[in-house]
């Protein structure tokens, strides 16, 4: 696909400085060797030097950008180059997706589809997919190859399930969700009751998982089914890769969690929280809305105050943690200072 610089500038509502008829067929980063025919953006002053060297055909810049040296590329001046660039990426993806969805339609063979199956318009089911009994797919749903879907599963409009995801029985998935490869939704949670002889007995896990609309589940992330009731991932939640969500957990709307974090059984996370990578949240606790947890935080008690920012294990106030960490590094010195004080005191009291 090729577009002229002018076409792109018009799309983004930008002003052109330089020739508008050059053809663009690639999107690039300014800090790499952007090739001829590519477009990139300059948002951060520290990359300014690159603009004087780039071979890119066009660069998105801020309205108030004034070059200090000659620039070979055509400038497209916009109010926010990063936002404009993102908009461009989106347009580009939209076209790609359109091309993709034209090709990805229908039911590839071999695939297995159980009894009482219902599907909306323009559904894609990839080869080697297995769909159990009594399932319902909305319109425009795409099920990539090797996907396993158990019985009584509903997947609503425009949701994409990538190759090899595994969806156990009774799962409900909303509209516009994305479930990446290797994710396991609805497997049996870790419910084992200790017996007098030291062995453990399985506690049946009879509930299900509900993913509301606009939820993203990363690759190889696992969301356990509830013991009773539902494990609930609310609207707009974005879970990164390799995350563990225990049975009966609730994750509030628009909360984002980075890779390798985990939430133990029955905990309830508020809405609009930001949870960094490798965070651990203990079982049966509550986390208030708008909480931010730093990377590797370990939370073992409820957070009641909204907008709290914590880090560390056990998690404490973020600024406090930073200060304490600086001193942790100097503990040998601090200990020595205490020793010296002790000596001095001894000297003082003995004189």
Per the rule left: phi > 0, alpha: psi between -120 and 50, beta: everything else, 198 is: left
Which of 77, 142, 166, 175 contacts a second copy by CB under 8 A? Answer: 166
- 94-128 b/e (C-beta count within 10 Å ≥ 16 → b): eeeeeeeeeebeeebeebebbeeeebeebbbbbeb
DSSP conformation class of 46 = G
Question: What x/- string results for residues 125 through 164 when contact with a second copy is judged by CB under 8 A?
Answer: -xxx-x-------------xxx-x-x-----------xxx
Nearest residue (CB) to a second copy, 17 versus 76? 76
The full length of the chain comes to: 351
The site that binds a second copy (CB under 8 A) totals a number of residues, namely 101
Which of 55, 139, 228, 284 contacts a second copy by CB under 8 A? Answer: 228
Give strand pairing partners of 76.
Answer: 16, 60
User: Cβ of residue 265: shortest distance to a second copy, in angstroms?
Assistant: 9
The DSSP H or E segment spanning 335 is helix 331-350
User: Cβ of residue 68: shortest distance to a second copy, in angstroms?
Assistant: 25
Nearest residue (CB) to a second copy, 66 versus 196? 196
Binders of a second copy in range 14-73 (CB under 8 A): 27-29, 32
Who contacts 192 (Cβ-Cβ below 8 Å, separation ≥6)?
A: 200, 201, 202, 203
Verify binding: residue 337, a second copy, rule CB under 8 A: yes
Nearest residue (CB) to a second copy, 138 versus 236? 236
User: Cβ of residue 161: shortest distance to a second copy, in angstroms?
Assistant: 12
Provide Rg for the chain, Cα atoms.
Answer: 27
Verify binding: residue 174, a second copy, rule CB under 8 A: no
Catalytic residue numbers? 247
Nearest residue (CB) to a second copy, 17 versus 129? 129
Which of 14, 174, 236, 270 contacts a second copy by CB under 8 A? Answer: 236
SS3 of residue 253 by DSSP: coil
Which of 10, 107, 262, 308 contacts a second copy by CB under 8 A? Answer: 262
Token digits of residue 15: 């002003």
């Amino acid at each position: 696909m090729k577009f002229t610089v002018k076409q792109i500038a018009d799309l983004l509502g930008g002003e052109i400085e330089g020739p508008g008829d050059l053809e663009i067929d690639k999107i690039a980063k300014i800090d790499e060797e952007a090739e001829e025919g590519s477009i990139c953006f300059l948002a951060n002053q520290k990359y300014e030097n690159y603009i004087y060297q780039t071979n890119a055909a066009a660069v998105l810049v801020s309205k108030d950008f004034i070059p200090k040296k000659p620039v070979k590329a055509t400038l497209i001046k916009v109010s926010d180059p990063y936002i404009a660039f993102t908009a461009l990426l989106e347009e580009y993806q939209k076209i790609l997706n359109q091309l993709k969805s034209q090709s990805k339609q229908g039911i590839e063979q071999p695939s297995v589809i159980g009894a009482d199956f219902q599907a909306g318009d323009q559904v894609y089911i990839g080869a080697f997919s297995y769909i159990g009994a009594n399932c319902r797919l909305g319109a425009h749903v795409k099920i990539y190859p090797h996907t396993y879907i158990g019985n009584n599963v509903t997947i609503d409009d425009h949701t994409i399930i990538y190759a090899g995801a595994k969806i156990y029985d009774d799962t409900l998935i909303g509209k516009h969700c994305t479930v990446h490869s290797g994710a396991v939704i609805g497997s049996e949670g870790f419910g084992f009751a200790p017996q007098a002889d030291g062995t453990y007995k399985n506690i049946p896990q009879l509930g299900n998982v509900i993913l509301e609309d606009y939820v993203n589940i990363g690759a190889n992330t696992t969301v356990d089914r509830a013991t009773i009731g539902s494990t609930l991932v609310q609207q707009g939640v974005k879970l990164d890769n390799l995350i563990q969500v225990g049975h009966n957990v609730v994750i509030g709307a628009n909360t984002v969690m980075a890779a390798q974090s985990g939430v133990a059984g029955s905990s309830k996370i508020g809405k609009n929280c930001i949870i960094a990578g490798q965070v651990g949240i203990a079982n049966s606790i509550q986390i208030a809305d708008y909480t931010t947890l730093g990377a590797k935080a370990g939370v073992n008690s409820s957070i009641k105050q909204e907008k709290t920012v914590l880090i560390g294990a056990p998690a404490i106030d973020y600024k406090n943690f930073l200060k304490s960490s600086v001193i942790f590094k100097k503990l040998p010195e601090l200990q020595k200072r205490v020793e010296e004080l002790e000596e001095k005191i001894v000297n003082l009291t003995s004189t």
